[in-house]
A = this chain, B = another copy of it.
Amino acid sequence: MGKDRKIDMVILGLLAHEDSTGYDIKKKIDGPISFFWKGSFGSIYPALSDMEKNELVKKLKSDNSGGREKIAYHITKKGTDTLKTWLRDESAGNELKYETLLKLFFGGVDEKSVTLHNIEVFEEQVRQSLAVLKIYKENLEKALDDEEHKYYYLTVIFGIDTYEGYLKWCKKAKKILAE
């Protein structure tokens, strides 16, 4: 019976920082957040509507100057309270669906070369993601005195540490398989 939609918290979190349109929110989710969460228009717009009905967000008067109408949203007091309640709730469902690991686990069904190739593909993806994260990190280190940026920085180094661990594992795994 839930009302447990996490996309609501993502939107509320972003709105707590600044008023945004659904389109803006989508762009932000596709940025650094995309390393640990995803969201599509098909989930963002309905979530905004629902939250407006529940008075967690408020529509600002739409801007019709230039282009299609733009509807920016502002977080309400009730919205901020909801966000804080969620932040203070210890329980956090960290659900991973790691298809790479699944393929690895069942690798014995097929030839060894198949698994080896899958590891290499994974390694390449990780390397690319890591490169992006390192650029984020460098830019952030120039502005670390800003308290707001600190939290962002922590998620970025989380990604870097994790991905570096993955790369180490890839090397190890290839060696073990070759034996």
Contact = CB atoms under 8 A, between A and B. Distances in A.
Contacts of A88: 110, 114
Interface in A104-136: 104-110, 114-115, 117-118, 121-122
- Sort chain A's interface into a size bin: 35 or more
A78 to B, nearest CB: 14
Contacts of A60: none
Interface SS majority for chain A: helix
Contacts of A87: 103, 106-107, 109-110, 114-115, 118
A101 B148 CA distance: 15
Contacts of A94: 96-100
Given A87-B106, A117-B90, A121-B90, A101 B36 contact: yes
Contact of A155 (B93, B99, B105): B105
Q: Within the oligomer, what is the number of copies of this chain?
A: 2
A123 B87 CA distance: 16
A84 interface: yes
B33 A105 contact: yes
A44 interface: no
A90 to B, nearest CB: 5
A166 interface: yes
A99 B93 contact: yes
A152 interface: yes
